[in-house]
Amino acid sequence: MTTLETPETQQRTGPRTAAEALDAARDHLLLLQSPEGWWKGELQTNVTMDAEDLLLREFLGIRTGEDTFESARWIRSQQSADGTWANFHDGPPDLSTTVEAYVALRLAGDLPGAAHMGRAAAYIRSEGGLPATRVFTRFWLAMFGRWPWDELPVLPPEMVFLPRWFPLNVYDWACWARQTIVPLTVVGALRPVRPLPFTLDELVPDYDVPRKGKRGLPGWDEAFGALDKALHVYQRRPLKGLREAALRRAGEWIVARQERDGSWGGIQPPWVYSLLALHLLGYGLDHPVIRRGLDGLERFTIRDEMGRRLEACQSPVWDTVLAMNALADAGLPAGHPALERAAEWVIGEEVRGPGDWSVRRPGLPPGGWSFEFDNDCYPDTDDTAEVVIALNRVEHPRAEPAIERGVRWMAGMVSRDGGFGAFDADNTRGLCRKLPFCDFGEVIDPPSADVTAHVVEAMSHRGMADSLLVKRAVVWLLKAQEPDGSWFGRWGANHVYGTGSVVPALIAAGVRPDKPVIRDAVGWLRRHQRDDGGWGEDLRSYRDRTWVGHGASTASQTAWALLALLAAGERGPVVERGVRWLVEHQRPDGTWDEDHFTGTGFPGDFYINYHLYRLVFPLSALGRYLRQAPSPRAGADAAAPGELNGESKESS
């Protein structure tokens, strides 16, 4: 697997100009391209991926000593000094993540008396112990006899029979959630128990802890509490024929959605739970579906000096088109061999068949692209938009028909309000969120500002800015602007990402830079530039608004801010200081260090460090800056343009 890292012994040879920084970044990115034409950086998340992998293997009886040793080494390396594990770099401790990591290390032979385990156990007890963990964590504990099944919320497999118009049918859930929920209904109905070879008594607090429940609006807690009690009664005495038919249908539903690489949707949660569900339904370890699923996990496994770790997902389509756009921004001609190879590979990844998206859009011809190497069930509008932009900038004989199909599919996925969700149209029923079962992660896929912006930008590049579709989407974006001038970022951290996505899209759609909506956004970015010249926003901003626009400067977030400012026609000290931050923080090999996570899976719960973000977005920003700036020099060896213009940092 290609890595973005080089030996720590490399030293910077001297200050660079912006043009030299661009050349170094471009050359580094070109070296990372695979022979097949794609790019893929590591998609780093948190240690629950690795803990649950060990728990899955323990449950199936296939855990090996080597895998356990290597995974445990990685899990230990991510433990904080206080004994806890977080969901993102430099983030606060997370109880459920810490519990899952702790149990995995117990499987690996780490004893409760060890110092690192003692610190973890003390934190777990102080936070309420196992009763205070999220539902998914207690599901794992129940499978190993360390939590009562009767004290978990119930979702019956019979829900697969609910018609599509009925509330809480499986297509009311976002694609990632429905793929997880269906297999979990099987696991929850069969209630397996395969005891661990140890207890977890050391995690019991010295006081009674109220059972964790989902807090909702007055009335909803009572209504769904009553529903959950009724479902518990039914779980004890289900209608035998109906239950058997539901389990059979759920199994068929799961098998039908396995991808060629053995995954489900190319993401870890439905993959793991689908394997568990099918195994409990009688699929043996030698069954082709199970075998393909287990073998496919190897492709998502990284082994290095830090240990063994799993990627929750892989993002080759997304990474490739972002790289293509960055290289085009850096000045590579449309017919460059690297872009031609990338275009050939991307065109081959087009999804040409129906998927779950067609449930709500049955008459829409297929088209579009997904995120992963193999995911034919769930193309998404976000990837498709970036593919359209990238293919629109290259010379390839098969590009135009693919672009036209992608645009047609994307246009058909518009929601009733004019915005765009990622995977489904009109996936907006909030009832799913209120279930006691759903205490972790977003479970629906409503339109978001960043996705809608990418679609607007793609269609505008295709000459559709004056279409009713784009105009409605622009109105959606105008309404979604925050009072402070920013936009919320659903799939990236956070308001810096949202604003960095929307401003270039609005400009592409014909909104003039002097309009209040653009000036307010520029003002927000100006106010949130850090003293060092960069931009950063901590992921805690999803739960705590005091973090909005605040955090350590990162390469990707600085680039997002610059892309918005450049699109708005900004020049002067704010832009120059941002460019200088990129130049001064570039590594000798042309990329940037970025330990902080800047990608979002579930706002408030699950985050991603895309290892290629630190390279592609700064390259795009530098390319656009040099193409538009009066002078190509803005480096550590150059005077600050603000100073050349008689301006100072304070006057900006």
Q: How far apart are CA 48 and CA 601, in angstroms?
A: 14
Six token digits for residue 492? 């990236």
Catalytic residue, from 374, 382, 538, 605: name it: 382
DSSP assigned state of 599:
E
CB atoms within 10 A of CB 50: 25
Of 21, 24, 19, residue with least CA distance to 583? 21
SS3 378: coil
Contact 254, 182 (CB under 8 A): yes
342: CB partners within 8 A, 6+ apart: 33, 37, 38, 39, 320, 321, 323, 324, 390, 394
SS3 519: helix
Q: Which residues pair with 264 in a beta bridge?
A: 258
Contact 179, 274 (CB under 8 A): yes
Three-state DSSP string of 477-506: HHHHCCCCCCCCCCCECCHHHHHHHHHHHH
147: CB partners within 8 A, 6+ apart: 130, 138, 141
Q: How far apart are CA 492 and CA 621, in angstroms?
A: 17
Buried b / exposed e over 586-595, threshold 16 CB at 10 Å, is: bbebbbbebe
124: CB partners within 8 A, 6+ apart: 95, 98, 99, 102, 130, 203
Long-range contacts of 274-280 (CB under 8 A, 24+ apart): 274/179, 274/183, 275/56, 275/60, 276/56, 276/59, 276/143, 276/183, 276/187, 277/182, 277/183, 277/184, 277/186, 277/187, 277/250, 277/251, 278/183, 278/251, 278/254, 279/60, 280/186, 280/187, 280/190, 280/192
Of 16, 33, 12, 43, residue with least CA distance to 622? 16
Q: Report CA torsion sign: 247, 191, 136, 215.
A: positive
3, 71, 233, 499 from 275: Cα distances, Å: 30, 20, 27, 39
Q: Taking the C-alpha atoms of 525, 530, 532 and 536 in order, what is their torsion angle to the nearest 10 degrees?
A: -80
CB atoms within 10 A of CB 237: 8
Q: How far apart are CA 383 and CA 273, in angstroms?
A: 26
Tell me whether residue 531 is one of the annotated catalytic residues. Answer: no
Catalytic residue positions, numbered: 382
